[in-house]
């Protein structure tokens, strides 16, 4: 008995030793490999970790995002300047799982940088951890306030509401010469509330006369009281921070009442569903969006065509943002010249005026987006470019 125990102990220790040796060896060789490849200029090899929402109720986001990454990866690797390998982990839309996935990826020394996670709430826990470990991380779909401000290593390429809303207000005010506005917003939702804060700040900054601020709650069906009040004040423009479900009904009731001024909405209002629900009443809704699939730009057309061929459907905002994100990373990697986290971070922060399917892209000094969002208006039953 004792002998057997002793022998198995020995066996286990030997196995452990072998495993340990193998580990050491493998890191060593891969390190050598990348150095060698870099020297041969066959393309700088780099591993990039992806954390995204692949299972659960929001799995469609993760699917769109990974589709965007994979299409970009294929194109970038075919060009040959850099050679990117993606290591994809599922966050299931949960903070703790996102953090676990991020820690797993960070502990792999070959991984130069991270992309994701999908949700802003996930980024709020993953971001500080990545910053602490000194690994660059970029959100492609995180729009909440304060994400890039988490730390020097945290970036994003998704346009925050605080950038999109002012752009659409400004364009609408310029076009219609609006001076008096009314604001209407859902006061029981964090997203519409923060949209409202941005609208109010922007309206005050532009010197607009805010006639009234009205609120509503999620799932409300009667907006007549608020709208009658707004109608009596006769605004030139209505700023409405609503999700499309409530927003579409608001527009319908407003038009029925005889309010014909344009509406400016936030990103939550930006959905083709508005046209389905409100029909003709949705005409005159102005929203800013980072992504417009019908844009008359060869780059956009090319991307839409390739994406449709590969996945059999039109790319949405999330796929487009992911696609551009990997191109930004590839550019930074090329400029860094080596697969090193710190060198990569510095090169990433330097990115300026990079042409992508979303438009010209730069980072500000905090790592947030500098970009002109596309402003759209609903006209003749569809979203069109608002000029």
Partner 1 sequence: MFLEQLINGITLGSIYAIVALGFTLVFGVLGIINMAHGEIFMFGAFIGVIVTSTLGLPLWVAFAAAILVTVILGYLLERFALRPLRGKQGVSHLAPLISTIGVSILLENLSHHLFGAGNHPFSNAFAEIRFQIGSITIYAVQILIFVISIVLMMALSYWLSKTKAGKALRATAENLETASILGVNTKRIITLTVIIASAMGGIAGILVGMAFNSVNPQMGLSMGLKGLAIIILGGMGNVKGAMAGGLILGLSETLVVAYGDSGYRDAIAFIIIIIILLLRPQGLFGQKTAGAGRP
- 76 vs 249, beta carbon nearer partner 1: 249
| Residues 129 and 151: beta-carbon distance below 8 Å | no
DSSP-derived secondary structure letter, 267:
G
| Burial zone of 345 (CB within 10 Å; 0-12 exposed, 13-18 middle, 19+ buried) | buried
Nearest to partner 1 of 38, 279 (CB atom): 279
59 lies in the binding site for partner 1 (CB under 8 A): no
- 214 part of the interface to partner 1, by CB under 8 A: yes
Compute the least distance from the CB of residue 279 to partner 1, in Å: 7
Please report how close the Cβ of residue 202 comes to partner 1 at its closest, in angstroms. 21
Please identify which residue in 228, 305, 362, 384 interacts with partner 1, judged by CB under 8 A: 228
Give least dist CB 244 to partner 1, A. 8
Q: Which of 163/254 has CB closer to partner 1?
A: 254
Does position 259 bind partner 1 by CB under 8 A?
Answer: no
Euclidean distance between CA atoms 299 and 287, whole angstroms: 22
Looking at the Cβ atoms of 102 and 182, the one nearer to partner 1 is 182
Backbone angles phi, psi at 370, to 5 degrees: -120, 110
The answer to whether 216 contacts partner 1 (rule: CB under 8 A) is yes
**Does the footprint of partner 1 cover residue 226 (CB under 8 A)?**
yes
Residues 154-213 binding partner 1 (CB under 8 A) are 187
Nearer to partner 1 among residue 231 and residue 334 (C-beta): 231
Stretch that binds partner 1, among 39-47, 155-163, 269-277, 331-339 (CB under 8 A): 269-277
- What's the distance, CA 311 to chain centroid? 20
DSSP state of 373: P
Of 88, 68, 84, the residue nearest 76 (C-alpha): 84
Token code pair at residue 130: 């990545």
Write the CB contacts of 280 (distance below 8 Å, at least 6 apart in sequence). 255, 381
56 binds partner 1 (CB under 8 A): no
Q: 């532009």: which residue's tokens?
A: 206
Interface segment toward partner 1; rule CB under 8 A; list 117-125, 219-227, 284-292, 297-305? 219-227
- When asked if residue 107 is in the footprint of partner 1 (CB under 8 A), the reply is no
Write down the residue that tokens 């998704």 correspond to: 158
Q: What is the β-pairing status of strands 374-379 and 285-289?
A: antiparallel
Mode of pairing for the β-strands spanning 263-265 and 285-289: parallel
Is residue 263 within the footprint of partner 1 (CB under 8 A)? no
234 binds partner 1, rule: CB under 8 A: no
Q: Identify the CA nearest to 325 among candidates 42, 91, 84, 126.
A: 84
Whole-number minimum distance, CB 320 to partner 1, in Å? 24
Measured from the CB atom, is 155 or 185 closer to partner 1?
A: 185
- Complex with partner 1: residue 98 or 278, whichever CB lies closer: 278
Q: What is the distance between the alpha carbons of residues 204 and 200, in angstroms, rounded to a whole number? A: 6
Site for partner 1, residues 279 to 298, rule: CB under 8 A: 279
Question: 253, 270, 289, 374: which one contacts partner 1 (CB under 8 A)?
Answer: 253
Quote the Cα angle for 316-111-115, to 5°: 20
Residues 21-29: contacts with CB within 8 Å, 24+ apart? 27/109, 27/110
Angle at 148 between CA 158 and CA 142, to 5 degrees: 35
Is 27 a residue that touches partner 1 (CB under 8 A)? no
Q: Which stretch binds partner 1 (CB under 8 A): 73-81, 90-98, 246-254, 312-320?
A: 246-254
**222 lies in the binding site for partner 1 (CB under 8 A):** yes
d(CA 290, CA 111): 29
Q: Stretches 73-81, 99-107, 245-253, 339-347: which one binds partner 1 (CB under 8 A)?
A: 245-253
Report residue 114: phi and psi, to 5°.
Answer: -115, 150
Q: Is 225 a binder of partner 1 (CB under 8 A)?
A: yes
Answer yes or no: are the C-beta atoms of 252 and 275 closer than 8 Å. no
Q: Does 58 bind partner 1 (CB under 8 A)?
A: no
Q: What does the buried/exposed string (b/e) look like for 102-126 if buried means 16 or more CB atoms within 10 Å of the residue's CB?
A: beebbeeebbbbbbbbbbbebbbeb
- Tokens 């601020």 locate to 213
**232 binding partner 1? (CB under 8 A):** yes
Task: Name the residues that contact partner 1, by CB under 8 A.
Answer: 187, 214-226, 228-229, 231-232, 245-246, 248-249, 252-253, 256-258, 273, 276-279
């Amino acid at each position: 008995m004792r002998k057997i125990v002793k022998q198995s102990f020995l066996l286990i220790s030997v196995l452990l030793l072998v495993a340990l040796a193998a580990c050491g060896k493998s890191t060593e060789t891969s390190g050598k490999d990348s150095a060698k490849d870099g020297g041969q200029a066959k393309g700088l090899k780099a591993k990039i970790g992806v954390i995204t929402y692949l299972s659960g109720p929001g799995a469609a986001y993760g699917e769109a995002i990974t589709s965007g990454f994979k299409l970009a990866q294929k194109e970038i690797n075919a060009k040959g300047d850099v050679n990117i390998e993606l290591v994809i982990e599922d966050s299931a839309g949960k903070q703790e799982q996102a953090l676990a996935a991020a820690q797993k990826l960070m502990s792999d020394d070959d991984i130069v940088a991270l992309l994701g996670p999908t949700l802003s709430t996930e980024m709020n826990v993953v971001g500080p951890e990545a910053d602490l470990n000194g690994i660059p991380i970029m959100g492609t779909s995180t729009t909440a306030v304060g994400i890039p401000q988490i730390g020097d290593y945290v970036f994003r390429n998704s346009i925050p509401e605080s950038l999109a809303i002012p752009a659409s207000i400004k364009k609408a005010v310029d076009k219609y010469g609006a001076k008096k506005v009314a604001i209407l917003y859902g006061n029981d939702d964090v997203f519409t509330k923060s949209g409202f804060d941005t609208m109010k700040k922007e309206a005050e900054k532009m010197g607009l006369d805010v006639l009234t601020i009205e609120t509503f709650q999620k799932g409300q069906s009667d907006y007549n009281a608020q709208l009658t009040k707004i109608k009596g004040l006769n605004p030139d423009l209505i700023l409405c921070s609503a999700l499309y479900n409530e927003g579409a009904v608001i527009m319908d009731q407003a038009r029925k009442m005889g309010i014909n001024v344009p509406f400016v909405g936030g990103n939550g209002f930006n959905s083709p569903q508005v046209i389905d629900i409100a029909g003709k009443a949705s005409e005159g809704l102005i929203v800013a969006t980072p992504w417009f699939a019908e844009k008359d730009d060869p780059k956009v057309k090319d991307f839409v065509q390739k994406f449709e061929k590969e996945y059999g459907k039109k790319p949405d905002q999330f796929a487009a943002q992911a696609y551009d994100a990997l191109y930004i990373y590839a550019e930074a990697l090329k400029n860094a010249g080596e697969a090193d986290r710190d060198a990569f971070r510095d090169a990433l922060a330097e990115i300026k005026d990079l042409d992508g399917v979303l438009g010209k892209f730069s980072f500000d000094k905090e790592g947030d987006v500098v970009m002109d969002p596309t402003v759209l208006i609903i006209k003749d039953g569809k979203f069109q470019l608002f000029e």
